Amino acid sequence: AQLNEQTTFKSATTKTLISAFQQNLDGNLHYIPPVVLKCDNKFGIKHYAGDVEYTVDSFLAKNMDSMYYDIKKVMATAACSLIKVLFAPDVEAGESAKRPPSITTQFKGQVHSLIEQLSKCKPHYVRCVKPNDAKKAGLVTMERMVHQVEYLNMKENVMVRRAGYCFRMPFKGFVARFKAICKNTWPLPESDDMKAATVSILTSGQMTTWSQSSPILMQEGVDFKLGKTKVFIKDPQSIFLLESSRVAAMPGVVEVIQKDARRYVYMTLFRVQRLGFIKAQANMRQYLCTKHYHITLNYIENIQCHVRGFIHARRMAAHRRQFKNKPPRTFATKLQACFRSYAAKCNLEEAKYTRLKEATELIKVARARYDAETLIGARWRCRAQHRKYVGDLKHVIVVASRMRGMLHRIRARKKREEEYNTWLKTFKETGVKITKFSHTRNPVTGVKIRAAIHTFKVIDPEEGGASNEGVRLAWIGGGVFSKGKKGLPLGDVVSLHRGVHQSLKDHFDSDAEEIKDADLHLYMNITNSAQGKDEDKVLILRADSNWERERFFRVLEKLCLDASYAPEQTQTGKVGPKPMMKLARPPPPPPSK
């Protein structure tokens, strides 16, 4: 246990192992400390054969087993039978999936299994002595052999055997072996008490007839003793006497067994032959009875024929006397008349039965036709009602679907209005950050386009002080048309488009970062007629995401549409509607395959 405990520690060394032994085993009579041996890495154990010294160097390393249980389990599933045997997991030794057991734990488990196997049988030990250390034939070293005999404890075993009882055996085994030499125990003991049967064999002196030996008369306590489960015999001569009596009784026992075996064989043969004779007698009696039955039946049939002939002759004589001995033709005419009368009656009954059968068939046919007509009519009415029901159901489904569609459209419109109001509120309060592209014209360098992030807000007419210009779009840093903080009137927007403007495509390459994501771009065309300029301007924007671009586009689209229908003051002083703004709708999605 101390060795296993030290093995689990990573910082364990030889000194810690020796100190653990010294701490737990100090005071034990069989333990020899390192101080007595005058060595730091040794300890001793006092055996009955002498003192043994052990060196603890590499004890910890040799006690570790790096083969984990999972590896053994995997290797045990190999197809090769040799690998299965080599890596068979020993669960009884204490192996687990967490940590492999140590060498001492495995050895302890193997010793326990060996003790369990030995306890189930009766082991007999054979002491082997080596005659010499050179492993040569014909060479005997007496000193080496005497040393082995002393250390194998053979001398003490012989002395114990001489001082005690040389023979011991359980009562049941003793009675089973020597019951043939005593009348009281052959063939079975008088009682189930095996101890009493053992005493009877050793002390009664009543030998069987075939034992042919002197009576066995032993005294309890002198020649033998009885334990709880075994009998102990002291003198070997008593054992020899019992064995000789048993050997002398064996021929008689064999004769009894042979006699019983022959009796069983002949009784079995007799039963088989007796059954055969009984079966042969039964078959013979059956044959004789069948033959007698057929002969008797022939006699009876002959007697019946003669009796029937005599009866018919008497009846014929009576008929002749009735017809006053007229010729046989008279009998034939009378018989024919009777036969024709019987045939007419039979034909009349048959005709009545035939007509009744035909009428029954006609009734069945009429009833079948009526049932078929009724079934066809019921089926037709059922089909008509089903068609009417299906038509009504379709109308109801169409109306319900239209109502649901109208409700969904109303809900979607309300939801869009709510989203629009939420987005518009965001535009008015906090604004939206979007990248704006600006054009810079220089006579030397030409036209340059730069991008900057601006915060765009929607300003109501009341907030900026210019209520006659309508809703405006302002951004931090000023407008492109020198609008400043007043913003851009959305009524000046001519058109609103999704996608990349042509000026960006002409200025940048096709793989440039500025125009790489076309789904994020939008631009609006703005008129400069209010400023006295004929050339229109364009405002180019790029959002951070497609969702942001779409939200900005929809808010501007709604505001621009509202601003395009706002009444404006014409040059003649009349109020009229503004022209409708042109908006670029997104293309429809491609049809699904």
* pLDDT per residue rounded down to tens, the chain (593 residues): 667 777 777 677 777 777 887 777 777 778 888 777 777 778 888 876 678 888 878 777 777 766 667 777 788 888 888 888 777 765 444 444 456 677 777 778 888 888 888 888 776 777 788 889 888 888 889 888 888 888 777 777 777 666 667 778 888 888 888 888 887 788 778 778 888 888 888 887 677 666 566 677 777 777 788 888 888 887 777 888 888 888 888 888 888 889 999 999 999 999 999 999 999 999 999 999 999 999 999 999 999 999 999 998 888 888 777 767 666 666 677 778 888 888 888 888 788 888 888 888 999 999 999 999 999 999 999 999 999 999 999 999 999 999 999 999 999 989 888 888 888 888 888 888 888 887 776 666 666 777 888 888 888 766 544 445 677 888 875 444 334 456 778 878 888 888 888 888 888 877 787 777 888 888 888 876 544 454 568 888 888 888 888 888 888 888 888 776 544 333 333 333 344 344 444 444 444 44
Residues 186, 187, 190, 196, CA torsion sign: positive
Q: What is the CA radius of gyration of the chain?
A: 64
Nearest to 507 by CA among 457, 569, 438: 438
Residue type present at position 52 = V
Contact 551, 519 (CB under 8 A): no
Give the Å distances, CA to CA, from 560 to 104, 148, 231, 322: 91, 118, 123, 142
Question: What burial letters (b/e) apply to 416-426, b meaning 16+ CB within 10 Å?
Answer: eeeebeebeee
CA distance 462 to 51: 114
* H helix intervals, 487-588: 502-507, 546-564
Contact 216, 194 (CB under 8 A): no
What pLDDT, on the 0 to 100 scale, is given for residue 93?
43
> What secondary structure letter does DSSP report for 207?
B
Measured N-to-C along each axis, helices 236-322 and 171-178 cross at an angle, to the nearest 10 degrees, of: 70
Residue type present at position 229 = T
CA distance 526 to 521: 17
Taking the CB of residue 231, how many other CB atoms lie within 10 A of it?
24
CA distance 150 to 132: 16
Residue type present at position 327 = P
Taking the CB of residue 469, how many other CB atoms lie within 10 A of it?
21
Give the Å distances, CA to CA, from 280 to 267, 286, 294, 582: 20, 10, 22, 126
What pLDDT, on the 0 to 100 scale, is given for residue 477?
58
Nearest to 246 by CA among 295, 179, 196: 179
Residue type present at position 382 = C
Taking the CB of residue 493, how many other CB atoms lie within 10 A of it?
24
Instruction: Report the CATH number of the 1-120 domain.
Output: 1.20.58.530
CA distance 542 to 546: 10
Contacts of 337 (CB under 8 A, 6+ apart): none
> What secondary structure letter does DSSP report for 434?
E
CA distance 176 to 212: 20
What is the dihedral angle through the alpha carbons of 53, 58, 61, 65, rounded to the nearest 10 degrees?
-40
Quote the tokens at residue 70. 């999972």
Task: Give the pairing of strands 493-498 and 488-489.
Answer: unpaired
CA distance 116 to 259: 44
Q: pTM here?
A: 0.32
CA distance 338 to 343: 9
Residue with tokens 């999704």: 498
C-alpha triplet 109, 110, 116: angle, nearest 5°:
90
Quote the tokens at residue 329. 């033709």
So where are the chain's domains? 1-120, 154-264, 326-387
The secondary structure element, H or E, covering residue 540 is strand 537-542
Quote the tokens at residue 33. 């400390």
Nearest to 543 by CA among 555, 526, 558: 555
Question: What burial letters (b/e) apply to 258-283, b meaning 16+ CB within 10 Å?
Answer: eeeeeeeeeeeeeeeeeeeeeeeeee
> What secondary structure letter does DSSP report for 231?
E
Taking the CB of residue 154, how many other CB atoms lie within 10 A of it?
13
**Which residues share a beta bridge with 567?**
577
Measured N-to-C along each axis, helices 194-203 and 171-178 cross at an angle, to the nearest 10 degrees, of: 50
Contact 477, 565 (CB under 8 A): no
Residue 415 φ then ψ, to 5°: -65, -40
Residue type present at position 406 = M
Residue with tokens 């300003």: 459
